[in-house]
Amino acid sequence: MHSTAQTAELTCPQCGRAFAAEIWLIVDAGERPDLLARARRRPARGDMPHVRRRGCLTRRC
């Protein structure tokens, strides 16, 4: 299996600016151990990880 990502155009809910984000659809842990490690560092909240817009000046982004 191969890791697969797509670029999605999203809108920041805090500042309203559009930005492009890389969304991983399939992660092969053997191929991309860096992504597996990054996912494990996130706190388990029972929901999907969220994306932040880089450079947003609002406090909640």
Domain range annotation of the chain: 4-41
Q: Residue 50 carries which DSSP code?
A: P
Q: Is the pLDDT of residue 13 over 90?
A: no
State the Cα–Cα distance between residues 29 and 3, nearest whole angstrom.
Answer: 8
Looking at residue 49, what is its pLDDT? 60
Model's pTM, two decimal places?
A: 0.61
pLDDT digits (tens, 9 = 90+) for 29-59: 999 999 888 878 766 555 556 677 777 766 5
